[in-house]
């Protein structure tokens, strides 16, 4: 019990004092205590109650977490309500999956865009849900009440999960709400978030990808940026305003709060505020974790995803149907590999590991000054170093075979492993049951929404990558298979799978199911390769998982000790928890930056940059003729700035990460001035260490969003629905 009280006391100490205004993703329930004074000094004109309130309408009620499915277990993006009829803005890339699913060759909304003229034309976006935070509360004491010092790490996590489920069920009010409890500061605090989740969400409008994705992967993470990264949805409810499954009888949601949209634009040093659901940061990661990521984990995933997207690109650019089919998958993979590429470069360039090592040295000195601290924290950093080093050694042997085994016929073959195991038991009844279970397999489903030539080439290239990554000593079983049976030609192995495997086509799978034979599966080249990959992983996976559990436990201890260290040595320092897909607020200002010596980037970019980047026929830099005509004529209407120019995007110092995509960036009055959609290349290390001189959020300007809706698309019905404001 004493430890619990000590922890709470230290938490209070560590969360008081002056904060650096631009850094931090803060929990809204603490805004009045921790942030409000600084925000007010910077220009905020709203009261704490107008920002976050449980009992009254507040700004938080306009912020929406977007997830797949009907539970708020992880938000991939953020949206914001911008009208009294449930209209919601988010990023184009956030709506990309829904737009892709609704697109066909005849109605290609990815290429052509889509604009509903009235409610009846809005399209159900199946699978996407919109979550509104009702309240959050501190449940640390309740969670810690079931823990004791004799528990192992696994026992502790199990006890936490059981207690969390109990608390969540009690707060759900028989299913009315969707509560979720999350750990903070590496499991040193726990908070419950109670949501209402609306599953009837409909597509209202989207620009063509040539606007919404202008610049493609080339411009991703880069400034200046000229991407109109927005799409528009609407949240629907039943007649009483409650969440309900899709029904033609549902009505547009009458929200508790919606954001006005400002035409005032931005100036250098203007106050800015972003609310949203950032996914993951690792600001308390040690230098050892950084080394592991940069030297092992990131390169492995980067190489695999880059290969896959390169193959997709080759076929997607040739065929509109293939482009629609793979658009969302390719976008996600490409975003990841480029993110990892940037992190590998900038974590080293910005010397993040070195700065973390300096902190660790100070922490170690503080620990060694007290025997009690030595007992609790003395081995933490050494243990982390040892386990990260081991993880780095085995990571390639886990992730390469894991991803290759998920490719084409090899992945399908894996699903027949249980049948083979049962057949080898020689139990007639069990074998009969296993054969009958095969009848339930839908062979056609394996090949639905796939393009054979693309999938075949992916298999060939993935096997080549795998073969060239490991030598005979590192991967003897697969290496010997290629050398002995295929005379060292891994492409011959791939072709054998594609031409002769049971699992290479729906027809051959159906024929096998009609007359199953376990021996045929065991000799099948796809199944043989799958087994070599499983065997490759088996030697590493158990110790890898054990090391990761030790890393988790010691990260928990390190952050616990670090908070005590700061409370004692820097009592005025405020700490904020890592992002974990819960509602956060960040605040900062509009600001330019200097990425390198003698280079200065402005804080805004204009539509003139679209003309400069425009390449006719290029899949990343082509734009519609109508947009070119409007820009050349400077026909911007009320959306032009005081110089008659159209601002496309602007920079701010707000602290964001993935999941903040689509978040509203607001001015001092809580009015929408843009949508956050990206970070900048020079600060790709920012998820692990905030870079105040370099780190910027890239936002699409609200005036450009309205210009595209109004002047380009002619969707004046949507303009009329918004609350548009402009200062006198």
pLDDT in tens, 540-592: 999 999 999 999 999 999 999 999 999 999 998 889 999 999 999 999 999 99
Distance CA(156)–CA(142), nearest Å, equals 14
Q: How far apart are CA 691 and CA 684, in angstroms?
A: 9
Average pLDDT, the chain: 95
**Residue in the structure block whose two tokens are 């490759």:** 536
Confidence of residue 369 (pLDDT cuts 50, 70, 90): very high
The pLDDT of residue 19:
36
pLDDT band with cut points at 50, 70 and 90 for residue 6:
very low
User: Which pLDDT score, from 0 to 100, does residue 8 have?
Assistant: 31
**For position 70, what pLDDT does the model report?**
87
Listed in sequence order, the residues at least 6 apart from 157 whose beta carbon sits closer than 8 Å to its beta carbon are none
As a whole number, mean pLDDT of residues 106-132 equals 97
pLDDT digit string (tens) for 229-283?
999 999 999 999 999 999 999 999 999 999 999 999 999 999 999 999 999 999 9
For residue 94, the model assigns a pLDDT of 97
What's the whole-number mean pLDDT along residues 461-471? 96
- Give the mean model confidence (pLDDT) for residues 696-705: 98
Task: State residue 10's pLDDT score.
Answer: 31
- In a 3-state reduction of DSSP, which class is residue 400? helix
Q: What would the pLDDT profile of 297-342 be if each residue is shown by its tens digit?
A: 999 999 999 999 999 999 999 999 999 999 999 999 999 999 999 9
Q: What is the pLDDT of residues 310-319, one digit of tens each?
A: 999 999 999 9
Q: How far is CA 233 from CA 46, 403, 452, 667, 671, in A?
A: 27, 34, 34, 23, 19
Is 367 within 8 Å of 564 (Cβ atoms)?
A: no
Instruction: Report the pLDDT value the prediction gives residue 13, as an integer from 0 to 100.
Output: 30
What is the DSSP track for 39-61? HHHHT--S-HHHHS-SSS--GGG
Instruction: Name the residue ranges covered by the structural domains of the chain.
Output: 287-553
Q: Looking at the predicted structure, is the pLDDT value of residue 366 above 90? A: yes
What pLDDT score was predicted for residue 313? 96
Mean pLDDT of 133-139: 97
Position 3 pLDDT exceeds 70? no
Buried-exposed string 99-123: b where 16+ CB fall within 10 A, e elsewhere: bbbbbeeeebbbbebbbbeeeeebb
Q: Which of 457, 435, 580, 609 is nearest to 517 (CA)?
A: 435
Residue matched to tokens 């850094």: 23
- The answer to whether residue 524 scores a pLDDT higher than 60 is yes
Q: Point out the residues that are catalytic.
A: 93, 229, 661
Token digits of residue 671: 């009015």
């Amino acid at each position: 019990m004493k430890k619990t009280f000590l922890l709470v006391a230290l938490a209070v100490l560590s969360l008081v004092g002056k904060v650096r205004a631009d850094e931090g993703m803060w929990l809204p329930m603490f805004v009045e205590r921790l942030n409000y004074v600084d925000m007010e000094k910077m220009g905020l004109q709203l009261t704490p109650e107008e920002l976050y309130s449980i009992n009254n309408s507040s700004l938080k009620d306009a912020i929406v977490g977007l997830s797949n499915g009907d539970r708020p277990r992880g938000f991939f993006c953020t949206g914001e309500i911008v009208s009294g009829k449930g209209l919601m803005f988010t990023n184009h890339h956030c709506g990309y999956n829904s737009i892709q699913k609704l697109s066909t060759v005849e109605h290609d909304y990815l290429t052509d865009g889509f604009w509903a003229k009235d409610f009846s034309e809005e399209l159900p976006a199946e699978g996407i849900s919109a979550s509104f935070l009702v309240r959050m509360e501190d449940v640390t004491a309740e969670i810690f009440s079931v823990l004791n010092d004799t528990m192992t790490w696994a026992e502790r996590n199990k006890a936490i999960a059981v207690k969390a489920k109990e608390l969540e069920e009690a707060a759900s009010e028989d299913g009315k709400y969707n509560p979720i409890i999350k750990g903070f500061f590496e499991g040193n605090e726990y908070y419950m978030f109670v949501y209402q989740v609306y599953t009837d969400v409909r597509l209202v409008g989207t620009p063509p990808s040539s606007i919404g994705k202008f610049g493609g992967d080339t411009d991703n993470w880069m400034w200046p940026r000229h991407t109109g990264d927005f799409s528009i949805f609407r949240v629907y409810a039943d007649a009483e305003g409650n969440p309900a499954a899709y029904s033609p009888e549902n009505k547009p949601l009458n929200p508790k709060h919606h954001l006005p949209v400002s035409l005032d634009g931005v100036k250098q040093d203007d106050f800015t505020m972003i609310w949203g659901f950032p996914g993951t940061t690792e600001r308390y990661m040690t230098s050892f974790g950084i080394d592991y990521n940069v030297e092992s984990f990131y390169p492995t995933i980067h190489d695999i995803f880059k290969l896959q997207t390169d193959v997709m690109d080759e076929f997607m650019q040739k065929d509109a149907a293939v482009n629609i089919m793979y658009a969302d998958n390719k976008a996600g993979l490409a975003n990841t590999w480029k993110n990892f590429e940037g992190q590998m470069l900038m974590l080293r360039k910005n010397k993040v590991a070195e700065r973390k090592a300096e902190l660790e040295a100070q922490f170690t000195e503080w620990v060694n000054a007290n025997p009690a601290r030595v007992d609790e924290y003395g081995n933490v950093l050494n243990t982390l170093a040892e386990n990260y080093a081991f993880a780095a050694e085995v990571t390639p042997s886990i992730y390469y075979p894991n991803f290759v085994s998920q490719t084409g016929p090899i992945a399908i073959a894996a699903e027949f492993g249980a049948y083979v195991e049962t057949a080898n038991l020689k139990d007639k009844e069990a074998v009969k049951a296993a054969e009958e279970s095969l009848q339930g397999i839908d062979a056609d489903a394996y090949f639905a929404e796939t393009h054979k030539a693309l999938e075949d080439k992916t298999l060939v290239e993935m096997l080549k990558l795998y073969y060239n990554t490991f030598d005979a000593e590192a991967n003897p079983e697969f290496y010997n298979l290629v050398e002995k049976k295929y005379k060292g030609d891994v492409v011959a192995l791939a072709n054998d799978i594609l031409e002769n495997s049971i699992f290479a086509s729906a027809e051959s799978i159906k024929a096998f199911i009609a007359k199953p034979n376990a021996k045929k599966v065991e000799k099948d080249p796809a199944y043989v390769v799958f087994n070599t990959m499983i065997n490759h992983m088996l030697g590493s996976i158990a110790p890898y998982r054990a090391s990761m559990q030790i890393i988790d436990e010691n990260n928990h201890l390190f952050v616990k000790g670090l908070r005590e260290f700061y409370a004692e040595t820097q009592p005025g320092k405020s700490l904020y928890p890592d992002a974990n897909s819960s509602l956060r607020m960040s605040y900062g200002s509009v600001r330019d930056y200097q990425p390198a010596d003698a280079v200065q980037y402005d804080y805004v970019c204009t539509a003139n940059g679209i003309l400069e980047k425009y390449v006719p026929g290029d899949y990343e830099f082509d734009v519609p003729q109508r947009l070119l005509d409007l820009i050349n004529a400077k026909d911007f209407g009320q959306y032009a700035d005081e110089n008659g120019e159209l601002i496309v995007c602007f920079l701010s110092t707000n602290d964001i990460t993935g999941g903040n995509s689509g978040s509203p960036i607001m001015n001092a009055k809580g009015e929408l001035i843009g949508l956050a959609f990206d970070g900048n290349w020079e600060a790709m290390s920012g998820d692990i260490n905030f870079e105040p001189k370099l780190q910027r959020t890239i936002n699409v300007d609200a005036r450009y969003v309205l210009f595209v809706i109004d002047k380009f698309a002619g969707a004046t019905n949507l303009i009329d629905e918004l609350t548009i404001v402009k200062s006198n």
